[in-house]
Structure 1
Amino acid sequence: MNFTDNGSSPEDFTPDTSSGLEPHRLEDNAEHFLVGAVLWFDMLSCASTSDAPRLHLEAARLLQGQIDLANIIPCQPWVALAIGDIAALRAWKADAISTSSLSFWKLFEQGDPIRKRLEDGIAGLRAEVDESFAALGVSHLGTTGAYLVLANPGVQQEAIKRAITLVFANAAQVYLNTIISGADPKLDDVRNSVVDTMDALQELQLICDAQALRNLIWPICIAGSMAEDAPAQSYFQSLIQDLGEEAHAFGNTTTTLQIMQRCWVSRKDNGSGSWHWATAMESMGQRVLLV
C-alpha cells in the first residue's frame, strides 16, 4: 500500500504493484498452479491405481489452454495428456477383460495413435536437441556439449526442460507397451522403451545435479520395474540410492526402490515376466503415488 502522512482517506490508498503483478493476477497464478498440480497428480496416480483419470476431459482442455504445466514440472503438456490417455486405455482393457470381451485388435487400434503421438513428439524433441547442439558447435551432448550447456544458464534451462520431457515420454512408452504388448521385459517393445528411458535419464544427468531426479520418481519406477538384466536394474537402483537420506526420509524413493526390487525378484523366483509396478504394489498391500 502507498501511505501518506497528510490525512489521506482510505480511498486515496492504492495497491502497491511494485512486484509487477496485480493482486488478481497473483490469485490466478495460484489457482492455475493448484489446478495444474491436481491434473498432474491425477494422471500419475493412475499407474498405481489402474483407474482412468478422474479429470481426463478437463485435462485435455486445460493443459492445452490456460494451465502451464511448466509451473509444476518442466514437462511439456503433450506427454501428460498421453499418460492420461494410456491410463484410460489401461482401464478400458481391464473392463474388457472382466467381461471377457477383450479384442486385441481393438486394443491395438486404440493404443496405436497414442504410440504415434509419443514417437512423433520424441522425434520432434530430438530434432530440437540437435538444433541446439548445432548452435553450440557440437554434434551431440557428451562432455563438451554438457560443458557448453552448463556454461549458459538460459540454454541449460531449456535443455533441462527438453530432457525431462524426453524422460517422461520414453517412460510413457514403457507404460503403453506393457498394456498393448504385455508386462514382460523380454518383449522387444518393452525392452527398447526401457533402454530409451535410461538413455534419456543419462542425458539429463549430464546437465543437472542428482537432486533434480527427485521429480522423476514416476518414470524411474515405471521403466525400472520393467528392467530385465542386472546392469539395467543396478542403474535404476543407483538412481534412487544416490538421491541421499533426505529424499528417502521425505519422499517415496525408498518405497519406489522396494517396488522395483519386488518386480525383479518376483520375475526371477516365479519364472514369469508378468510383474510390473502395479502388481508389485498389490503384493505389498500399497498404492503409492509415484512423486
Structure 2
Amino acid sequence: MFSRNKDLSHMSSLSGLRSRFKHTMSSSAKIRSSEGCWTCRLRRKKCDEARPVCDGCAQLEITCYYSDVKPDWMDGGERQKEMADSLKKQVKIQANNRRERKYLQSLDVDPNHTPASDDPDHVIPPVPPLSLDGGSSKANDSNSPSTVNDTPGDTSSPAFHMGSVKSSLHDLAPAASPNQMRQLSPEWPSHSNHSSPPAAAPAPAPAPATLPASHPAVPISADHSNAPPFSDDSNLTFIMIYLDYVFPFLFPFYKPALLEGGRSWLLNVLNHNKALYHTALGLASHFFGVVLTGAQVEHAPCRMKSVASLQHQLDLALRELRADMASINEGGVDNQLRRGCRVLESIVQLLIFDVTIASNDHWQMHLDAATVVFQQILPQPDHWDATMDHMAIPLFSGVRFPPGSHTAWSSDQAALRFFTASLLYFDIISATALERPPTLQAYHYHLLSPRKDDCLELEPRLRLEEYFGCQSWVLQIIGEIAALDAWKKDARRAGSLSMTHLVSRAACLELALREGISCIDNQCPQLMGSDDLVAACSNACTGRPPPHPTHADTMRLPPDPLTLYQYSQTQDAVDAAHAHTKIWAYAALTYLSTVVSGWQPSCPETVTSVQATLDLLNTLRSPVCLRTVVWPFCVIGCLADPRQENMFRDMAARMGPLEVFGSLTGALGVMENVWARRDTIDESWDLAACFKILGHPVLLT
C-alpha cells in the first residue's frame, strides 16, 4: 500500500526538510536569556526574569534557581545532565499532582480544607495528593500544564470537574449531607441472604456537591425527595437485570470459564463497591427504559420511573466515589491496594456509563482520572504479577498454574483484570480521537503481548479478545498508528517531518496487520519461516517488532467438561472473535492509509479495505454484534462510497431501540456529518477530524 516509489516525489524535498529541522533545533538550543533563572536556561525555555520565582517555574511548580554565579552543576557534563533529569522528574510529578488536585476539587474534596466543627475531637485531616511521588504543591493554577511535556495540556481533554458529569442529566437529586447520603443508599433487603453493600470507610466525608449555577431548578415533591425511585426489592430486580441482560449486552464476548471463577466476581464487586452498585442500577434502569420504548404496549409511568432512577443512582454513585476518594487519600493507594482498586473500578464504570448513555462531555475526565489511579496502583508494568499475587486466593498464593490451564482468580484479581482490560481498550480508542499516543502504551507489551519462557510462547497476561472480541495485537497496532499520527503532526508543526521515516514506520505496521490477518486464516507467514516483518521493522527503527497473534493457543490444556458440553457455543465464539478481529484489522489498515496518504476515499487500497470490512460486517450473526465494532463501523463508513451510505444506515436501524444504548448513534452522527461535507473535505482531512466533527471528541467503543 505504501511503496517507497510512491513517495519519490518527496525525496527531493528531504534535504530542505532536514535543513529546516537543523535550523529549528539549533535555534531552539540557544539560551533564550542571559539574565533568566538557571532553571529556564537549563530547560532552554524563555524566562520572564521575574524574581524570586519566574512565571514559567511558577506555572510548572518546580524549583526556580536564581543566582548571579553560575551553579556548579552547570558544567556541561554529567552533573548538568543529572540536574536536567531531576527537573524533568519534578515537572512530571507536579503535572500529576495538578491533575489529581483538579480531580479532587471536582469531587468536592479540597486537599487543603479542614471544615470547622463544634466538636474539637471531630477533626477532618487535610487530604494529601494522590501521587505516590510526593512533592510540594502551590496554589492551583487552572492554566498550569497537565502533562509532562512542559506545555499546556491538550485543550481537547478538559480538566476534571465532577459537577459537569451531572450537568448532562439536568435534574439530579439535590445535594445531601454526608449522613443523608448514606441514608439515601438502598440496602439489600433484610430478609435476603445477601449482606448489605458496606458503606465506605467512616473517613471524613467531603463537602456535599452543589449543582452548577446553570442548572435549572427541578422541583421534587417532599414525599419522594429522600426516597429512592425503586424499593429495595426492586433494586434486587434491577441488579438481576444488570447481571442477566445489561452486562452481557455490553460485553457479549466476556464468558470466563467456571474454573476461572466465572462472573461471580461481578456480584461480589456489586456487593462491596457501592459506587459501582449504584452505577449498575442506573444502567439497568436505563436499559429497561430503552426496552420499554420498543415495546408495543404503552409504559409511560415505568419509563418515567426508569429515568428518575438513572438520575438518582448516578448521584448516589458520585457521592460514594467521593467518600472512597477521601478515604484513600488519607493513606495513599500503596497502603490501601484494594480500596485503590475499588476507586479504579468505580471510575472505569462511570466511563462505561458515559459511553453507554452517550455522554460525550465527560468521558475524557473519567478516562484521565482512571489513568491516574491505575498508574498509582501499578507504577511500573512489571509490577503486575506482584500485584496480582498480593490479591490471590490464599489457598493459591504463590502457585504457578501450568501453561494453558485455567487460573482460579480471586474476585479482586478478576475485577482488576476486567477493569484494566477495559481501561486499556478505552485508552487506545480514545487516542485516535484525541490525536495523541495511548497514555498507557508503555503497559501494552508487558500486559498484552505473549510471554516467553525459554523457547516456549505463553499466552499474554490479558487477552482483550476475551473481553471485547478483538485480539490484542490489532488494538496494540491501532495504538501505534495513533502514536504515529501524533508524531507526524508534531513533526509537521516543528517543520521536521521526514516522509521516509513516516513511510517506513507505516510499512512496518501495514505488514504486521496483513501478516496478522493471514495468521487468523491459518496461513501465518511467521510459522512458515518468513522474516519479512522483522526486516521491514528493522528498517523503520521501531525497537521491537509490532505485535502478532499469539500462537499460545496450541499449548492449551484439554478443556473442562462444561466446555465440551458447550462445544458448539464455544466454537461459535471463537469464529466470531476471528471475524471481529479481521473487521478491526481491515479498519486499522484504512486508518493507517489516511495517516500516511491523507484523505483519499477513492484510493484503490482504501476502497479495498472498506469493501473487505463491509463484507465482514454483513456476516455478523446478529444486529447486536454491531455494538462491539462501532469504531471500525465508523472508520470505514466515513470513507465509504456515496452509494454505500444506506447500507450503513440499514445496519444501525436493524438494532432497533437498542441502537441508542451505546455509542452507535454517535458513530452514525459522525458519518452523516462527514457525508454531508464530502464535497468540501480535502486531503488534509483525517479520521481524528471526523471523530471531532460533532463539536467534541467521541469515544466509539
Q: Where on the TM-score scale, by shorter chain, does this alignment land: which range?
A: 0.7 to 0.9
Return the alpha-carbon distance in structure 2 between the equivalents of residues 78 and 107 of structure 1: 21
| 1:85 aligned partner, one-letter code | E
Shift of 1:271: 6.0
Matched, 1:37 2:425: no
The aligned counterpart of 1:196 is 612
SS at match of 1:282: coil
Matched, 1:240 2:643: no
The aligned counterpart of 1:61 is 446
| 1:237 aligned partner, one-letter code | R
Deviates more, 1:211-220 or 1:63-72: 63-72
How is 1:258-269 mapped onto 2 (pairs within 5 angstroms)?
258-268=669-679
How is 1:19-30 mapped onto 2 (pairs within 5 angstroms)?
21=261, 23=393, 25-30=410-415
> Residues 52 and 84 of structure 1 are in contact (CA less than 8 Å); yes or no, is this contact kept in structure 2?
yes
Return the alpha-carbon distance in structure 1 between the equivalents of residues 445 and 592 of structure 2: 18
> Residues 221 and 277 of structure 1 are in contact (CA less than 8 Å); yes or no, is this contact kept in structure 2?
no
Percent of aligned pairs with the same residue? 30
Bigger Rg, structure 1 or 2 = 2
Residue in structure 1 matching 2:568, options 134, 139, 152? 152
Sort the Cα spacing of 1:278 and 1:237 in 2 relative to 1 into closer, same or farther, 3 A: farther
Return the alpha-carbon distance in structure 2 between the equivalents of residues 273 and 265 of structure 1: 16
> Residues 52 and 88 of structure 1 are in contact (CA less than 8 Å); yes or no, is this contact kept in structure 2?
yes
Return the alpha-carbon distance in structure 1 between the equivalents of residues 586 and 655 of structure 2: 21
Residue in structure 2 matching 1:51, options 436, 461, 466? 436
The aligned counterpart of 1:79 is 474
Return the alpha-carbon distance in structure 2 between the equivalents of residues 56 and 243 of structure 1: 33
| Count of aligned residue pairs for this structure pair | 246
Return the alpha-carbon distance in structure 1 between the equivalents of residues 587 and 601 of structure 2: 13
The aligned counterpart of 2:518 is 123
> Residues 263 and 275 of structure 1 are in contact (CA less than 8 Å); yes or no, is this contact kept in structure 2?
no
Return the alpha-carbon distance in structure 2 between the equivalents of residues 233 and 274 of structure 1: 22
> Residues 181 and 187 of structure 1 are in contact (CA less than 8 Å); yes or no, is this contact kept in structure 2?
no
Unaligned runs of 5+ in 1: 1-18, 129-150
> Residues 69 and 75 of structure 1 are in contact (CA less than 8 Å); yes or no, is this contact kept in structure 2?
yes
Return the alpha-carbon distance in structure 2 between the equivalents of residues 39 and 187 of structure 1: 32
How is 1:159-178 mapped onto 2 (pairs within 5 angstroms)?
159-178=575-594
Q: How big is the alpha-carbon RMSD for the aligned residues of Structure 1 and Structure 2? A: 2.1
Return the alpha-carbon distance in structure 2 between the equivalents of residues 81 and 52 of structure 1: 11
How is 1:274-289 mapped onto 2 (pairs within 5 angstroms)?
274-289=684-699
Q: Once the two structures are superposed, what CA deviation does each residue of 1:203-254 show, in whole Å capped at 9, x if it has no partner?
A: 3x2xx21101111111101111111x22322222222222222221x32222
Return the alpha-carbon distance in structure 1 between the equivalents of residues 671 and 464 of structure 2: 27
> Residues 181 and 189 of structure 1 are in contact (CA less than 8 Å); yes or no, is this contact kept in structure 2?
no
Sort the Cα spacing of 1:164 and 1:271 in 2 relative to 1 into closer, same or farther, 3 A: closer
Unaligned runs of 5+ in 2: 1-257, 262-391, 394-408, 450-459, 524-566
Return the alpha-carbon distance in structure 2 between the equivalents of residues 273 and 223 of structure 1: 16
> Residues 267 and 274 of structure 1 are in contact (CA less than 8 Å); yes or no, is this contact kept in structure 2?
no
> Residues 33 and 71 of structure 1 are in contact (CA less than 8 Å); yes or no, is this contact kept in structure 2?
no
Shift of 1:103: 1.7
The aligned counterpart of 1:137 is none
Shift of 1:111: 1.0
Q: Once the two structures are superposed, what CA deviation does each residue of 1:188-217 show, in whole Å capped at 9, x if it has no partner?
A: 2222211121122123x2xx2110111111
| 1:266 aligned partner, one-letter code | R
Residue in structure 1 matching 2:496, options 101, 110, 129? 101
> Residues 118 and 173 of structure 1 are in contact (CA less than 8 Å); yes or no, is this contact kept in structure 2?
yes
Shift of 1:288: 0.5
SS at match of 2:677: helix
SS at match of 2:483: helix
Return the alpha-carbon distance in structure 2 between the equivalents of residues 88 and 105 of structure 1: 17
Return the alpha-carbon distance in structure 1 between the equivalents of residues 696 and 687 of structure 2: 11
Q: Once the two structures are superposed, what CA deviation does each residue of 1:131-150 show, in whole Å capped at 9, x if it has no partner?
A: xxxxxxxxxxxxxxxxxxxx
Q: Once the two structures are superposed, what CA deviation does each residue of 1:144-167 show, in whole Å capped at 9, x if it has no partner?
A: xxxxxxx93232111101001111
Comparing both chains, which one has the higher relative contact order based on Cα–Cα distances under 8 Å and sequence gaps of 6 or more?
Answer: 1
Return the alpha-carbon distance in structure 2 between the equivalents of residues 171 and 60 of structure 1: 22
Return the alpha-carbon distance in structure 2 between the equivalents of residues 125 and 199 of structure 1: 17
Q: Once the two structures are superposed, what CA deviation does each residue of 1:80-130 show, in whole Å capped at 9, x if it has no partner?
A: 1111111110110110111111121111011111100000011121237xx
